[in-house]
Every structure is written in structure tokens, then in C-alpha cells.
Amino acid sequence: MKKRVGVLALQGDFHRHIQSLEKLQIPSKAVRWPDDLSDCDALILPGGESTTFMNLMNQTGLTEAICEFGQKKPLMGTCAGLIVLATEVVNNHIDPLGLIDLRVERNAYGRQINSFSEKIQIPSFTDQPKFEAVFIRAPKIIALGKGTEALGFYLDQVVMARNERVLAATFHPELTRDHRIHDFFYREFVERN
């Protein structure tokens, strides 16, 4: 029986992550309250607006619940989800969850109007290492900390990283028809947990 992946559904394009999981025939559910995590084996934190995310997580009790959940189960954060999971955000007053040792800068590539799509390199995808990545008000990974490994690259910048339980991407993999990152998260993190 396949494990279930929850998708944080407070804000952002969570529905597209659920669709990506459905295409891969991975059971999923929307997570809006701490109790929703009880039957989840992993959790995806989607893109959105990081300050709003943190406010809504605090109001619903999910901040503490996700911190606890992430001590034992896999997490994936994309764009704002990466910011929420990082250890340090240099240009914001939020206190991120600190579940992956990353120093990040919000909106590093510019405003919404500066959004772009570009091929990135993911060397571990040996058959086809190029991946079409969509960057929307994307954060930039400034530094990797202890136990954090770079996985994906745009020019000379790290755009995807991991530690033992967390996969983090600065872009939006759910906005393409290429579901390899969701598949990678499931195979390498969820199934092995």
C-alpha cells in the first residue's frame, strides 16, 4: 500500500502539487489543521507568500505540529515552502522552522514581473539531468549548512538541496508537466522512511 503525502493547503498553489501526486498515483490530502497530519507519511509545503504562511501556520497551530512532524517524517518545500523550512532568512523578520540548514534570501530574482522559466541541472537525474524550472518571486539559497547537500543548479547557483528528511527547491516543480521531482521525493524520502 502506498504511503500518503499531505500538502499544506493554507495558501499558494497547493492544488497543483496534489495534481502532480495524482499523476504519479501517490495518495495525497490537503492539510489545513494539525489533526490532518495524523494519517500523512510526508508533507509538501508549497509556494506562496512566506510571511502569510507563517502567520496562518501560527494561527492554526501548524507551526509546532509541522516542526514535530518534520523530526520524524519527510518534508518537501518549494519556493515559500523552502523559506519556511530554512534556518535563516536574511531579508525578512519571520522565524523559519529551521528543519534544513539553509541561509536564504526572499524574492532574490525580483518581483512577480521578473518571473521566468529556465532549464536547470539536476545531476542525479542521470537519464535526463535538465529540468524546466519555473521561478516566481523565487528565493535564493545563499549558503548550505551542515548536513545539507546541493542537488540542483541554475548557472552557478544552488536551486535544490536536501538533508536527511527535507527536500527544498527555490522553484515551482508543480507548474510543469515533468513530475520527476515529486517522484524523486516519494522514492528517495517517503518510501525509505
pLDDT tens, position by position, 66-108? 999 999 999 999 999 999 999 999 977 788 999 999 999 987 6
pLDDT value at position 108?
65
Nearest by Cα to 100 from 140, 145, 142, 69: 145
* Closest residue by Cα to residue 62 from 89, 90, 81, 87: 81
What is the average pLDDT across 9-28? 96
Cβ partners under 8 Å of residue 146, min gap 6: 101
Question: Does the pLDDT at position 113 exceed 60?
Answer: no
Superfamily for the 5-190 domain: Class I glutamine amidotransferase (GATase) domain (3.40.50.880)
Give me the active site residues, please: 79, 172, 174
pLDDT at residue 193, as a whole number: 85
Q: How high is the pLDDT of residue 86?
A: 97
Among residues 42, 37, 39, the alpha carbon closest in space to that of 191 is found at 42
Full-model pTM? 0.95
Average confidence (pLDDT) over 4-33? 96
What distance in Å separates the CA atoms of residue 28 and residue 50, rounded to the nearest whole number? 23
pLDDT band at 164 (very low <50, low <70, confident <90, very high): very high
The domain spans of the chain are 5-190
Query: 93 phi and psi, to 5 degrees?
Result: -100, 10
**Is-contact 41 1, C-beta < 8 A?**
no
